[in-house]
Structure formats: C-alpha cells, structure tokens
Structure 1
Amino acid sequence: MLIRALFVAALALLAGWTPPVASYDRVVGATHASRPDVIAANGMVATSQPLATQVGLQVLKDGGNAIDAAIAANAAIGLMEPTGNGIGGDFFAIVWDAESERLYGYNGSGRSPQSLTLQWFIDNGYEDIPSHGPLPVSVPGTVDGWFALHERFGEMAMAEILQPAIDYAREGFPVSEIIAYYWDRSVPILSEFPGFTEQFTIDGRAPREGEIWRNPYLADTLGKIAEGGRDAFYKGDIARTIGEYMAANGGFLSYEDMAAHEGNWVEPVSSNYRGYDVWELPPNGQGIAALQILNILEGYDMASYGFGSPEHVHLFIEAKKLAFEDRARYYADPDFADVDVDWLISEDYAAERRATIDMDRAARAVEPGTRALDDGDTIYLTTADKDGNMVSLIQSNYRGMGSGMTPPGLGFILQDRGEMFVLKEGHPNAFEPGKRPFTTIIPAFITKDGKPWVSFGLMGGGMQPQGHAQIVMNLVDFGMGLQEAGDAPRIHHRGSTEPTGQNLQMTDGGIVNLESGFSYDTVRALMKKGHRIQYALGPYGGYQAIMVDPEFGTYRGATEVRKDGQAAGY
C-alpha cells in the first residue's frame, strides 16, 4: 500500500490530473474525484479512521444524535490516531442545531500554566518555546469540550457514548497505514520523555500497519471520565497525576491549572462568498484567515480563469500572503488582546488589501494592514443525523503526538500547543500566565440562505485556512462535487520565517508547494511571476465533509484520499 501508493502515484506526477481508475470517467462523467460521494438519508459520519467512523455511525443507529456521534468518534480516534490527537489536546467545534436553526461555536482551548512567565523564558535564555518536553504544555481542553457539547445538545448517556472507545482500547484494534507511518516517525523523537516508551511503543518500537494495538491505560482513564464526568478529569486523580508528573519532570502545569479550566461558547463569524456564508470561529484560532483570503478573492472572476490556471494559483497565493501577515500581527487570545475581527473580515478592508496585488508579479514582502510551521498534526471529523443536526469538530495535540510528556498510567500524551506563543513582550500572542495560545485548529461550515449546506474541515497547521479557502473555491467557483473538491490538487504557501504557526515577517516571497496535478504550463507561468516553487510530499492537510443535498434533502459525505479516512452513512 506504500502510503496510499504515494497518493495514487502522486496524482499522476505533475502531468495533468487524471483519475486513479480509468473507467471512472465513463461511469460518472468528467469528474476527477477518486470515488463518488457517499450518499445516505438518515445520518453520515466522516473521519480520518474507518473504525472511528463506524463508532460514530453505530451511535447514530442506536438513537444518538450528531453530537453524541461526534464525541464517540472523537474518543475513538484519540485512541486510534494518537499521531494527531487525544484527550491531552485541544478541541473546537461548530454545531448546527436543527431545532433553533442556527450555529453554535465552542472554543475548547486550554491556557498556559499560571506559574510560568515570559520573564522566566527570558531569564533562562529562550528565544522560542521548545517544540517538545514540559515547557510547551498547556491545559488540555478536549474532555471539557465533550461535556459542554453533550450538556447542551446531547441525547445518549455519556457512558454509552464513550463505551466503544473503552472497548477498543482494552480489546485492541489493527493500526492503519498512514497512522503506522507517522507513529514510527514519532518514536525516535518522543522516546526520551518519561512515560512515552512504556505507554506508546511495543518493545520500544511503533506498532506496524495491521498490528493489534491496545491501550488499557486509556481504557481506564476513559472509564473514570464516563463514570465521574468532566470533573474526574480536571479535579480528580487524573489531574493530580498530571500535576505531580509535570512537577517531577521540569514542568509547570499544575493540578490547580487543570481544576481552573473551562472552555467557552463563542459566536461563529462569517463572510459571504458569492452567495454562500462561510463560517469560522474567531481568534485565538486562525479561522478568519480563510475568510480574509476569500474576501480578497471575491473581487476576481475566479471561475473564468479556471482551476489550476496561473491566474487562479497566483491570486490565491497573493491573497494568502496578505491574510497571513495579519494573522501574525493580530490573532491572539481575545481575553488578552483587542482583536478587531469585524475590521479584519470587512469588505472595505478586503478591497484595500486586494488593491496591493500585482497580477504579474509575486510579492516578496507584505506588511500587515493598519486601520486609517507546519508540523502541526490534527484530526477533523464531521457528523450529521436524521433530524438535521450537524457537527464540525477539530481536535489536536499539535506537533503530531504532542509534547511527548506522558503521565504514568493515563494512556495519553499532553499537547505542546504552548509552543505557539511568541516570546516577545508587547506582541498580542506573547506568553502570559493563564493565556490561550494562538492556535491553528479550525472547524468550518457553509450555509446558503440561512440553511446548512456543508460541514467541513481541512487539517494541517498553517495549511488549514489555505485549505478551507480552496475547498470553498472548488465548490463555488469551479463547480466541483464534494469528494472532488477534496481530491483536487492543493496549493500550500509558507512564509520564509514560519518556525511556528505564525509567520513573523515574510521577506523573500516565501515558498510555494504545488501538489502533483498542476500543469507544467502553470508552474512555468508562476515562476515567471517570481514565485519560488518547491516540491513537497505531504503538507497538504486532510479533509472531511458532509453536504446537505439541496435537491433531495439527503446527505453527501466525502473523505480525504491522502489519509486512512472513511465517510459512511445509513
């Protein structure tokens, strides 16, 4: 299988994007999707791990709703894909509630330790927060997010929701291909940290593709959560174990930090793109960067240029550069910084930024606007039920398996999201005690005329807002189907100074990675405009989506061909 046959021979090696199955065009027309959309009437689940998808689907069949299914699938995928997420990480969600006919947002990101200060980093000679170990660890917000969503919208008992993940953790499951690959890459990096080797390896190595993996420690932890609720995690023995472990290993996260945690409900924000309302969550996440990109691009007739044309790619890259300079300058925890979201996503500001784009030349440097890394690994999943409820959920440990800090007997790794802070006094995202770091993980949603249309996400560090904007363009501008929109080759731009999730200042135009499938003519045209094109195998993210078919009222599901995912319905 060789990492999905190197993504179907790298989508036909930069030669013109051809479908993997020759007969597929003859069956369904001129689509370039790797497979048809999954279509079902009563419910749909799409995740990056087939067994987790089946867990969510079974919850729907057993009478749970989309919220119950999302929590169950997230618990299962935390076990099955520890290379991207787990209960040691953070959590964000957008929920479409069919009864009230509106969207709700939840920010489940954790805060920095109260006992750690910016001055401590300066006094100890740090210019950046390390990527692994005890210093980047912040409070994990996932379990709080589960219970917040469940209390407001859930129907099935939490013990029933978590039971499938508990059973799989105790009895075992076969590790899938992509997850085995990234697990193997993580072991040499994280084995130095206490508790990791004992809880996340088999005799010092990663489990192999197809090998049965069990995590009885996580089964016990989830059992305590199922029985005792969120306080069993944040105020009980689990929190005490975390605090004692961190104190013994040079960390600052304490029992008191855990006990004080609470996420919060937030209002999703939107921009209208050619008649479709695209919804994101406000900072401390980066979702509004996708809205800024789309606002800038709405001023161009993208459909007339055509997908994969030099104009399409050039304009997208230039809009991304502008949005990401604002991201680096302004996005931060709104409890600590004044983030003027209305201004950043306004039409007037988009027009001002659009006027700086040169159709013939790539910008070498751009400045953030003024008023008159991508190593992050993540999971994204989405669910929908028979009553019309839908959930767009994203969850992450940051850098793959997280910090490496693995408290004894708990079966999960603590996140390293605190690496995203800036060690620069006065910066909106500067480290402060009890502050939420800038975060890359963002769920998305699209409505049309006030009705749900698409719940989707595209994970992968700084690729996420770039990917969100590209999915919207593929659907709206280029008329692609749901699966096709995710299979289409992607554009990934990174600034030259992006050691963490925020680029500090782009000074040389940055690097453009074009996934296989863009023509040589487009590549040559972009190089003539001054873009620096480099080949890259894997920074293009992972996509899941569910669409409400406006004609028949059924669901369409799509999943990421680049990963182990599955969309399934009934």
Structure 2
Amino acid sequence: MRPKLLLRSTIGLLFGGFTAFSQSFNNFPVTTQKPPLHGKHWMGITGKPLAATAGTMIFSKGGNAVDASCAMLAATCTMWDVLSWGGETQALIYNPKTKKVIAINAMGVAPTGATADFFRNKGMKYPPEYGPLAATTPGTPGGLMTMLAEYGTMSLKEVLAPAMQMAEGYPIEAQTANSIERGKDQIKKWPYSTKVFLPHLGQKREAPDAGEIFVQKDLRATLQKLVDTEQLALKNGKNRKEAIYAAYDRFYKGDIAKEIARGCQEQGGLITEQDMASCKVKIEEPLMTNYKGIEVYKMQQWTQGPVMLQALNMLENLDLKGMGYNSSRYVHALYQVMNLAFADRDFYYGDPAFAPEEPMKGLLSKEYAKERLKQINWERNDAKTLPGDPYPFEGKKNPFTEQIKNWGNFQASLNRNANGLDEKFMEEFTAGTTSVEAADEEGWVVSITPSGGWVPACIAGNTGVGLSQRMQSFVLDARENPFNVVEPGKRPRVTLTPSLAMKDGKPFLSFAKQAGDEQDQLLLQFFLNVVEFGMTVQEATEAPSFKTLQMYASFGEHEKDPGGLILNQSMPDWTRKELSRMGYKLSYQPRTSGPINAIYFDWQHGSFWGGSSNHGEDYGFGW
C-alpha cells in the first residue's frame, strides 16, 4: 500500500468505523453517518430542518443566499433554536460584485446603568446568567434587516413569511420542548415568558409536548408590524432598501422599542427607549490571516474569532501531517497552541469602540506567533499558560506587564466532581447559538452564528421577543481583562464566530458551529481536517475532535479546568495513556464533532459540497 493511502487507512481506524478520503479518492466507498449535500445552484444549512426548509422556500422564489440566510435566521429565532429574536447576530458575507468579505456586527450593547459598580453592589462577581439584567439590547432584528437591505434582493414581507407562518403555530420538536420543561422554574419568574412557554401551567408537564402546535401570538404581531411598516413605505414611494430601514426604525425607535423597554424594566431590567434608539448595526472589515495560501476570515476582537487566526499562525510552522491525525503529538500540539491563543483572548479581546485599544496588529503578526510557539513545553501540558506580550510586535510597550504576572490568581478553576466533568460547567461552556450557512451560483456566500435569548429566556413585555443573556460575557474586574469591563453602550466579548476561507481569489470554505467556548477550537480542527488531511466537508464535520477546557469560560462563573481535555470515546488506549502521562485530565464523549455546518466550493466541477455534523439537529438542502 502506498504511504499516502496507508496514512488514510490509519485515520479511518481513529474515526471509530468510517474511512476518510479526499474528494479526489472518489472511486473508494466513503461512509459517513449523514450523506454529504450536493448542489449546483444554491445551498442552505442551519440548526433545524424546518428552518432549512425556510431557506429553500426563498431560494425557490429566486432569492439569493442573503435572502435565504435571513429567512433561515428568522425561522431559527422563531423556533428558539438556542436563540431568539432579542439575541445577537454575527455574519461574514462574501460579495461577488466587490469580491470582498465583509462583516456584520449586530451585537447588542450594555444598557444604561450597566456598570461594574452596579453589579458589584448586588454582590455579583459577573453579570447574571439569566433574566432581564443579563440582557444587552436586541441585535438580531437589526442585523437581519441590514443584511437584507444592503445585500439581499427580496422584501422583508417575503423573507419573514416562513417565520410568521411558524409563529402562527408549528409542531415544536422534542429538543426545544424538553428544554422548556427543564427550564420552567426559571421561566415562571417572568410573566410574559410563562404565557408563551408554558401552555399547560399547573399540569405535571407544563411545557409543550414534542409535536404539539406551538403558537406565539405576540411575536406574530410584532413581525406583522415590521412587514406593515415596510409595505406602507413602499406604497408611499420608498424603494426596497428604504422600506426595510423604515421597519428597522419601527423596531428600534417606535412602538416595538417602547414595549421592549417597558417590559424589560417592569421585570427588573435596565434597557431604556434611548438604549433601543441608539442601537446601530455595524458593517465592518473582518480580520484575516493567510494559512498556506488560504485566506481565513474572522470577525473582529469583540468576538473570539481571532483565536483561530492566531492558532493558524502558529500551526503553519509545524508538520501536522507528520504528527499523524489525532495522535498524542497532534493533540498536544493543538492543545498547547490553543492554550496560548485563548490566554490572549481572555486578557486582550474586547470592543474596539472603547479604550484601551486592543493590540490586534501584534497578536496577529506572524513574528509574534513564532515567539509564542517557543513557549510550548513539548513534553507536558502547561496548566499555567499566561497571556503573551504582543506590544513589541507593533512597536509599543505593554502597559499591563505587571498585571499579567499576577493574572489568574484571583480567577476560578473548576472543582471537578467524582464523576469527572461538572454538568453545570459544561452547560455554561457550550451555551447557546446556532449557525446558518448559505451560498448561491451568483457567488454570494453567507456564514452566520446568531445567538442569545436561549431558553429559559425572559420575554420583553407583549412583544414575544426573548431578551439576550450576553451580559454575562463581560467582566467586572479589570485585572481579569481590561478590555472587556462592562460599560453602558459597550459590546461584550462574545464567543460567536462565523468563518469564511478564500483560495485563489474564490470562496473555498464557509463554516460555523454552535456551542460557546468550543466554537473556534472545533472550527480550527475542522479546517485542518480539510486542508491538512484531505477530508471531504462531510467527513470533516463528523470527524472526532477533542476539546480543551483550559481557557476561562465566557459564561456563568467564568471558570476553567486546567489540563481538562475531552476526547472522543473512539480514541485508542495508547493515545489516552500517553496524554495522561503528559499531564492531561481526560474525559470522554461519544460525539465530539460539532455541531458544525459547512459549505465547500468545488470549482473543478462547478458545484457545492455541504457538510452538516452528525452531532445535533442541523440540516440542509442543496439544488
């Protein structure tokens, strides 16, 4: 057997039963738990089958990838697919007309009165996980309408039609229905949430049953107001774009905004009408690095996206293929690189609209990456990894040198229970989010990771809009991260991180995943699966990943688990033993692959390959 095929057969053994070959090995049988998607004209993938169907409805009417992605976003919000309408949206869009990737920043901001002193005076170490005090201003409606107005082709009425039909009543799936039942004690604290989520109040099961028609009258009325405003503007001579922005203004400056603010404050929250009116969606330049000729794009440093770029800058200096896929050497190399990048995230990332200025030029420089790489102990895990010093790589002196020396001394490390992983910690670590991926034959590509307002959500008054819980991603102590201390009008540093990759001036991969702090570490491995190990996009979404728990969680108590490493159960005994010897605390999961959704652009054949992980309810269609 030739060496290359021998390597691939070995990879297959580590997959726990399926063999991976690149697209070029299409004479060999390839088995994955889900079939790859194929399409020539368009493709859409998201977190729920019904939401993916909403995208196909728009594509079938002639909409482009932006139109379809907005319809899928609206549907996932209506389905409470680990997010709602009051959450936040982050998107990367490739515009084939300008041949550029742009970023949509539709993250809400901390409301008036949300200061570190405010929360400290309530005895809190961080802003709360749930309820009206956890809420930033709603970002997703503005993000959807901005994307549609600027880059779509259809009306808001057309794009919201599937979501509005769902709000009238759709058969709720077991995952969400059971999540509501588990969270009902929290939900009962908020009257408007109780009205929506608990139709069987007082019975043994108070949440809807799986398959029950779930009706949201208030949300349906709110969406109708947006459509009515758009249609009236069109009737009065406004163009498509102006009419959509008229609906935008009604949400943020009209009666909807007024009711959101009233309902939030009634339940103890801080959002004001002025906070709503001040909401601005930003169209930004994304950040990018080049990995072996592939341009990888991420959102700016108010997300964790640059972590992956930093990691790629370090990894391009290593022989990853020579280490062997998921060998102990490979796992150790990626884990240590991610340690370094996540330590920088935990200290240096924050909203660039606020001082101090994040040292992103230094953090993303190739020279800094090589310097960080020298700090790796190749024999054992370093459980005390500190942030680096990127300032010299942009010609400056680091003002936080002394602070970094003591960094982490006052932060929390996880106390593991006798059974291994702490369930609450893992729930917080993987909280929220879905993903939306779309592409069309004209060349539009969209990658979105919307989130916020997941169950149990506090609904704002009679709007049907669930409020975000993203305030908890701020810190109150500047010693922890001087760039991410809560202030009114500021965006928290979030985990949400869509991804786009370009090669030879053309789209190469569009990919994203849900699940909090896991996102960039698993997206990094997915990317390397395709680029370094030649997997198809479906194989790469299903391939067993591993997870580091050594960064500080962005939720809850912001704990970390030094040396914590989650492996797939298929990992061989000899690899487990070697990693244990290197100082890792091992835990295992049967599926560690995602959920990841991705589109690969096959320019040789003029088609799309879609991948949707076998971990979750994500689904897609192509044509």
Q: Please indicate, yes or no, whether the TM-score normalized by the shorter chain is above 0.5.
A: yes
Query: Is 1:77 the equivalent of 2:76?
Result: yes
| 3-state SS of paired residue (1:564) | coil
Residues 331 and 366 of structure 1: CA distance in aligned 2, closer, same or farther (over 3 Å): same
Say which of 155, 158, 165 aligns to 1:157: 155
* Whole-angstrom CA distance in 2 between matches of 1:34 and 1:141: 36
Aligned-pair CA distance for 1:537: 6.4
Counterpart code for 1:531: Y
* Whole-angstrom CA distance in 1 between matches of 2:478 and 2:582: 38
Query: Is 1:312 the equivalent of 2:330?
Result: yes
Aligned-pair CA distance for 1:284: 0.5
Specify the alignment match of 2:363 in structure 1. 344
| 3-state SS of paired residue (2:144) | helix
Query: Is 1:267 the equivalent of 2:264?
Result: no
- Contact 1:308–1:519 under 8 Å retained in 2: no
Aligned-pair CA distance for 1:122: 2.6
Specify the alignment match of 1:214 in structure 2. 215
* Whole-angstrom CA distance in 1 between matches of 2:92 and 2:199: 37
> Relative to structure 2, which stretch is displaced further, 273-282 or 515-524?
515-524
Counterpart code for 1:401: V
Counterpart code for 2:55: G
Q: Map of 1:233-382 to 2, 5 A cutoff?
A: 233-336=251-354, 337-370=356-389, 371-372=391-392, 373-382=428-437
* Whole-angstrom CA distance in 1 between matches of 2:93 and 2:564: 35
Query: Is 1:106 the equivalent of 2:124?
Result: no
Query: Is 1:442 the equivalent of 2:497?
Result: yes
Describe the superposition over 1:285-320 as per-residue Cα deviations: whole angstroms up to 9, x where unpaired.
Answer: 010001112221211111122222111111111111
Residues 476 and 123 of structure 1: CA distance in aligned 2, closer, same or farther (over 3 Å): same
Counterpart code for 2:601: V
* Whole-angstrom CA distance in 1 between matches of 2:14 and 2:443: 41
Say which of 449, 465, 480 aligns to 2:535: 480
Query: Is 1:510 the equivalent of 2:563?
Result: yes
The runs of 5 or more residues in structure 2 that have no matched partner are 1-12, 20-24, 230-246, 393-427
Query: Is 1:451 the equivalent of 2:506?
Result: yes
Describe the superposition over 1:436-467 as per-residue Cα deviations: whole angstroms up to 9, x where unpaired.
Answer: 11111111001101110111101211001101
- Contact 2:592–2:615 under 8 Å retained in 1: no
Task: Give the RMSD, CA atoms, in angstroms.
Answer: 2.2
Describe the superposition over 1:320-348 as per-residue Cα deviations: whole angstroms up to 9, x where unpaired.
Answer: 11111100100000011311222111111
| 3-state SS of paired residue (1:93) | strand
| 3-state SS of paired residue (1:278) | strand
Specify the alignment match of 1:8 in structure 2. none
Specify the alignment match of 2:407 in structure 1. none
* Whole-angstrom CA distance in 2 between matches of 1:522 and 1:218: 51
Specify the alignment match of 1:408 in structure 2. 461
Describe the superposition over 1:238-262 as per-residue Cα deviations: whole angstroms up to 9, x where unpaired.
Answer: 1111111222222111111011100
Describe the superposition over 1:333-384 as per-residue Cα deviations: whole angstroms up to 9, x where unpaired.
Answer: 0011311222111111111111111221111211101133414210101111
Counterpart code for 1:217: D
Specify the alignment match of 1:176 in structure 2. 173
Specify the alignment match of 2:240 in structure 1. none
- Contact 2:114–2:270 under 8 Å retained in 1: yes
* Whole-angstrom CA distance in 2 between matches of 1:17 and 1:359: 27
* Whole-angstrom CA distance in 2 between matches of 1:142 and 1:379: 13
Query: Is 1:564 the equivalent of 2:602?
Result: no
Aligned-pair CA distance for 1:179: 3.2
Aligned-pair CA distance for 1:187: 2.6
Higher-Rg member (1/2): 2
* Whole-angstrom CA distance in 1 between matches of 2:286 and 2:604: 27
* Whole-angstrom CA distance in 1 between matches of 2:467 and 2:373: 41
Describe the superposition over 1:458-502 as per-residue Cα deviations: whole angstroms up to 9, x where unpaired.
Answer: 121100110121111111111110011010112111127536289
- Contact 1:90–1:109 under 8 Å retained in 2: yes
- Contact 1:34–1:483 under 8 Å retained in 2: no
Aligned length: 546
* Whole-angstrom CA distance in 2 between matches of 1:17 and 1:561: 14
| 3-state SS of paired residue (2:183) | helix
Specify the alignment match of 1:550 in structure 2. 603
Residues 188 and 146 of structure 1: CA distance in aligned 2, closer, same or farther (over 3 Å): same
Output the TM-score relative to the length of structure 1: 0.91
